[in-house]
Chain A
């Protein structure tokens, strides 16, 4: 006797239902596979629709205030003070720390879905504020900041305060500011009379001190196409250029080309190999290892050079203001990180109370005294808040803040794309290619980009 083959489409199903070897007549109301599938799909659809129906729009009284922040010294410092705020408002605070890219990705996914589980958002005002405002993700804080005399909105430095405004609305509050610092080796610069005052002097000394065959470099800095743009901005400004001139591309001007060529030569002739792959994470350790005479990067990272776990130049490192170019010393002075409120948050009042508390005059002074440069002028005017910084660093920060411009990248919606375009001649300069033709190409592309970007600016 031979069995009917199992590999059959319909017979097999019938057998499995009948639990016997022989074929049986299908039951009158037997559930077919097709109708079973339809039933499952209908059930899933109903569940989805019921899930998507508007839920309760009031916050759970026991829900924590949720802060999403970058893993930054500021976030680590305020974590210690959070119990004070919890006692103040009677609500638990939950803070989640991520890297900058992860934070950005989380916002993009969650706020696209109108998430309510983010209340306070740490944002990069210069990188994503325009996009987030355009998407309607940031709550309008204008009345809150301007209607509170005790908060004293005008106490914030002008440049960071201006960057908090998009489409005529205050949508963020600056909490951490940054300027470029010239980190240099005091022991090596003694014979040259200390830190250079001009970029030309810095180049000359770098050329003299560089011993690249033996692994010592005159200057180390960011060389990555997009990552280098923010630090290069101070070179651009100090050569008299800007990213845009009267709303049009400014990266093809003679000043911009001179800045590209200077920065390229500095890194090409005195910098480490592979510098076009270097951003902060790669360049900083080279100086910390004592393998370079100069390094220019954010002053917020100074503590890395004073940490014995990372640095071998704790005694030798010096801090100086940004050296002057043909147009003087014009560094950036930017709000690197700000706080905003998620427009979909159900705890907007508590979120504002948190921002008001953490960015108020008293707390900013306390944080600045702990080594985190804030944006309030009152804190900068109080010498006690600068006591935690090395003297020469505090002085360079003060001078850079006075001379600084409020942005270090193009002021556009798609900042990442703009940085890619602007960074192209930078890489050409570092690799030894002729800068003017590359800058001309980039200039034309940036001009088109700006036109398209302007069209998208409808809030």
Chain B
């Protein structure tokens, strides 16, 4: 007669020693857990390898950087950081990147967050799509007319032109992240505020905006990272005094040689603020990026 196992009870047939299902399941779970761990480790290593290489190279001499036999075990040197800071260009361009990144992100947020609320609440889908065109058009195709226009206005080489050009990228990004966020907020809260006498804009300012803080933070972090890493606009529109970090990195690449150590030291310095922004904004990033995922 066959043995019947039910949940919560186990009956063992007399005279037989067959292994039960529980140890097999535990074994499978252990194997699955182990495989998952290995997979996560391998993927993390692959993703992190360029960053590990960059940081390691920042502490190597150029001979060590180009020698494939020198891996992660070597005598570190701070000479690359000393030479990177020596002429002051790196610090100056970091400050420029910070000014342009903060200003363009802040102004974009001031413009795009209310716009996103309006698009989300009042079904202005076509307006939203129109703004998205800015993300679709390749930036390089805009540079010739922009350069001409800004040169005529005497703005080339100023912070103004860099902030404006970076806003061209940041406004649609913040707008579209925030549209989803506002659509995910319960409309009843604003309706209740309106009932209590708030105007439409007042309900945005006092109700929707505070609730959308995580989304705003996430969008702002992403916009700042985009501005911090933007190369093309600064290459054409900046001058020596307003040059940003991504362009200055190329000072380490000359016609016949590349100062790999200096380049990696500067690249490491450039990466630090982005990593800090990501680490401190992580909580908001996750909340912001998943906003609207369960709406309706």
Where the two chains meet, the residues of A that have a C-beta atom closer than 8 Å to any C-beta of B are 1, 3, 5-9, 12-13, 15-16, 19-21, 48, 51-53, 55, 70-73, 76, 94, 96-100, 102, 105-106, 109-110, 112-117, 280-281, 284-285, 288-289, 298, 300-301, 303-304, 309-312
Chain B residue with the shortest CB-CB distance to A300: B256
Contact A304 B256 (CB under 8 A): yes
Q: Which residues of A contact B123 (CB under 8 A)?
A: 7, 9
Known: A105-B235, A113-B148, A289-B67. A6 touches B200 (CB 8 A): yes
Q: Which residues of B contact A71 (CB under 8 A)?
A: 250-251, 253-255
Interface pair A109/B236, CB less than 8 Å apart: yes
Residues of B within 8 A of A (CB): 61-63, 66-67, 121-123, 143-145, 147-149, 151-153, 156-157, 187, 190-191, 194-195, 197, 199-201, 235-236, 239-240, 247, 250-251, 253-258
* A94 and B242 alpha carbons, distance in the complex (Å): 14
Q: Enumerate the 5 nearest inter-chain pairs by beta-carbon distance, A residue then B residue, closest first.
A: A113-B148, A285-B66, A301-B256, A16-B200, A71-B254
| A281–B254 CA distance with the chains assembled, in angstroms | 10
How many angstroms between the C-alpha atoms of A8 and B199 in the bound complex? 15
Closest approach, in angstroms, between the C-beta of B255 and any C-beta of chain A?
4
In the complex, what's the smallest C-beta–C-beta distance from A175 to chain B, in angstroms? Answer: 13
In whole angstroms, what is the CA distance A289 to B70 when docked? 12
CA of A53 to CA of B148 in the docked complex: distance in angstroms?
Answer: 11
Interchain CB contact under 8 A, B240 and A311:
no
Partner of A21, one of B66, B194, B257: B194
Within the complex, what minimum Cβ distance (angstroms) separates A23 from chain B? 13
Return the chain B residue nearest A74 by Cβ.
B255
Taken together as a complex, chains A and B put the C-alpha atoms of A304 and B256 apart, in Å, by 8
Q: Distance (Å) between the CB of B222 and the closest chain A CB?
A: 26
A112 and B144 contacting across the interface, CB-CB below 8 Å:
yes
B295 to chain A, nearest CB (A): 13
Inter-chain contact B201/A289, CB cutoff 8 Å:
no
Instruction: Note all chain B residues with C-beta closer than 8 A to A115.
Output: 147, 151
Which residues of B have CB within 8 Å of A12? 121-122, 200
Asked if B149 and A48 sit within 8 Å, CB to CB, the answer is: yes
Q: How far is the CB of A312 from chain B (nearest CB, A)?
A: 6
- Most chain-B CB neighbours within 10 Å: which of A6, A13, A280, A312? A6
Distance in angstroms from B23 CB to nearest chain A CB is: 50
A91–B258 alpha-carbon span in the complex (Å): 32
Contact indicator B149/A52 (Cβ below 8 Å): yes
Give bound CA distance, A113 to B221, whole Å.
34
What residues of A have a CB within 8 angstroms of the CB of B250 in the complex? 71, 98-99, 102
Which residues of chain A come closer than 8 Å to B153, judged between CB atoms? Answer: 51
Tell me if A15 and B200 are in contact (CB < 8 A).
yes
Assess whether A100 is in contact with B255, with CB atoms less than 8 Å apart.
Answer: yes
Q: How distant is the Cα of A16 from the Cα of B205 in the complex, in angstroms? A: 13
Residues of chain B lying within 8 A (CB to CB) of residue A5 = 187, 191
- The one of B147, B195, B256 that contacts A110, using a Cβ cutoff of 8 Å: B147
Q: Closest chain A residue to B255 by CB distance? A: A72
**Identity of the chain B residue whose Cβ is nearest the Cβ of A280 in the assembled complex:** B256
Shortest CB-to-CB span from A434 to chain B, Å, is: 32
Could you tell me if A284 and B148 are in contact, using CB atoms closer than 8 angstroms? no
- Chain B residue numbers with a CB within 8 Å of A285 are 66
Which A residue sits closest to B121, measured CB to CB? A6
> In the docked arrangement, what's the CA distance between A16 and B236, Å?
42
- Sample of 19 more A-B contacts, CB < 8 Å, known A98-B235, A113-B151: A5-B187, A8-B122, A53-B152, A71-B250, A72-B255, A96-B239, A102-B235, A110-B147, A112-B144, A113-B145, A117-B239, A280-B256, A288-B66, A289-B66, A289-B67, A304-B257, A309-B62, A309-B63, A311-B63
Supposing A52-B148, A109-B143 touch, asked if A6 and B257 sit within 8 A by C-beta, the answer is no
How far, in whole Å, are A115 and B258 apart by their CA atoms in the complex?
30
CA distance A310 to B195 in the complex (A): 74
Assembly CA distance A298 to B255 (angstroms): 11
A98 to B151, CA, bound (A): 20
Chain A residues within an 8 Å CB radius of B194? 3, 6, 21
Within the complex, the shortest CB–CB distance from A274 to chain B, in Å, comes to 12
Tell me, rounded to whole Å, the shortest Cβ–Cβ distance linking A122 to chain B: 10
6 contacts between A and B (CB under 8 A): A15-B200, A71-B253, A98-B235, A109-B147, A110-B147, A280-B256
Q: A289 to B64, alpha carbons, bound, how many Å?
A: 9
C-alpha spacing A289/B62, complex, angstroms: 11
- In the bound assembly, the distance between CA atoms of A99 and B249 in angstroms comes to 11
Q: Which residues of chain A come closer than 8 Å to B151, judged between CB atoms?
A: 113, 115-117
B-side contacts of A72, CB under 8 Å:
254-256
Docked-complex contact B197 and A21, CB < 8 angstroms: yes
Distance between B149 CB and nearest chain A CB, rounded to angstroms: 5
How many Å lie between the Cα of A1 and that of B254 in the bound state?
A: 73
Q: What residues of A have a CB within 8 angstroms of the CB of B256 in the complex?
A: 72-73, 280, 284, 298, 300-301, 303-304
What is the distance, in angstroms, from A80's C-beta to the closest C-beta of chain B? 13
B153 to chain A, nearest CB (A): 5
A55→B153 CA distance, assembly (Å): 9
A249–chain B nearest beta-carbon distance, Å: 30
* Cross-interface CB contact of A7 among B149, B187, B199, cutoff 8 Å: B187
**How far is A74 from B162 in the complex, measured between Cα atoms in Å?**
31
User: By the criterion CB–CB under 8 Å, are B255 and A70 in contact?
Assistant: yes
CA distance A304 to B66 in the complex (A): 13
A336 to B, closest residue via Cβ: B255
CB distance from B91 to the nearest CB of A (A): 18
Contact B61 A99 (CB under 8 A): no
Are B67 and A310 in contact (CB-based, < 8 A)? Answer: no
Instruction: Check A73/B254 contact, CB under 8 A, given A6-B191, A8-B122, A51-B152.
Output: yes
A300 neighbours in B (Cβ, 8 Å) = 255-256
Assuming the contacts A6-B121, A311-B63, asked whether A106 and B255 have C-beta atoms less than 8 A apart, the reply is no
- The CA-CA distance from A177 to B194 in the complex, in Å, is 76
In the complex, what residues of A have CB within 8 A of residue B144's CB? 109, 112-113
Contacting residue for B63 out of A99, A284, A312, CB 8 A: A312
Please pick, from B143, B147, B148, B187, the residue contacting A6 in the complex, using a CB distance under 8 A.
B187
A310 touches B62 (CB 8 A): yes
Which of the listed residues A13, A116, A281 has the most CB atoms from chain B within 10 Å of its own CB? Answer: A281
**Given known contacts A106-B235, A113-B148, A312-B63, is B191 in contact with A3 (CB within 8 Å)?**
yes
Give A117 Cβ to nearest chain B Cβ, in Å.
Answer: 6
Note all chain A residues with C-beta closer than 8 A to B195. 1, 3, 21
Question: Which of the residues A1, A102, A310 comes within 8 Å of B257, measured between beta carbons?
Answer: A310
